[in-house]
Amino acid sequence: MESVIIIVFIVGYLAITLEHNLKLDKLIPALVMMAVCWAIVALGIDGFSDWFDSANHGLVEGFADKVHEAKMHLVEETLLHHLGKTAEILVFLLGAMTIVEIIDYFDGFSTIKGFVTFKRKKTLLWMFSILAFILSAIIDNLTATIVLISILQKIVKTREDRIWFAGLIIIAANAGGAFSPIGDVTTTMLWIGDKVSTGMLFTYLFIPSLLCMVVPTFIATFLPAFKGDINFDENEVEKPKSQYSAKMLYLGLGAILFVPVFKTVTHLPPYVGMMLSLGIVATFAEIYSRTKFSLTDFDSEASDLNAHHSPVHASLSKIEMPSILFFLGILMAVAALESLGILFNFAESLKQGIPLMGSELEGTKVSDLVVLLLGVGSAVIDNVPLVAASLGMFSESLDNPLWHFIAFSAGTGGSMLIIGSAAGVVAMGMEKIDFFWYLKKISWLALIGFLIGSAAFVVLREFI
Has residue 402 been placed in a domain? yes
Has residue 17 been placed in a domain? no
What band does 331 get if pLDDT is binned at 50, 70 and 90? confident
Tens-digit pLDDT profile for residues 134-179? 999 988 888 888 888 888 887 888 888 899 999 999 999 999 999 9
Has residue 153 been placed in a domain? yes
Nearest alpha carbon to residue 38 among 325, 333, 327, 331: 333
> What is the percent of the chain where pLDDT is above 70?
87
pTM for this entry: 0.78
Tens-digit pLDDT profile for residues 266-312? 988 889 999 999 999 999 998 888 644 444 444 444 444 444 568 88
Has residue 418 been placed in a domain? yes
Has residue 74 been placed in a domain? no
Instruction: Tell me if 396 sits within 8 A of 402, measured CB to CB.
Output: yes
Domain count, the chain: 1
Q: Which residues 6+ apart lie within 8 Å of 77 measured at CB?
A: none
Query: Which has more confidence, 38 or 383?
Result: 38
Q: Report long-range pairs for 31-34 (Cβ below 8 Å, ≥24 apart).
A: 31/325, 31/328, 31/329, 32/329, 33/8, 33/9, 33/329, 33/330, 33/333, 34/328, 34/329, 34/330, 34/332, 34/333, 34/336
Has residue 2 been placed in a domain? no
Helix, strand, coil percentages for the chain (3-state, nearest 5): 75, 0, 25
Has residue 36 been placed in a domain? no
CA distances for 431 relative to 129, 145, 152, 157, angstroms:
17, 12, 11, 12
Domain extent at residue 312: 85-464
Distance CA 374, CA 398 (A): 20
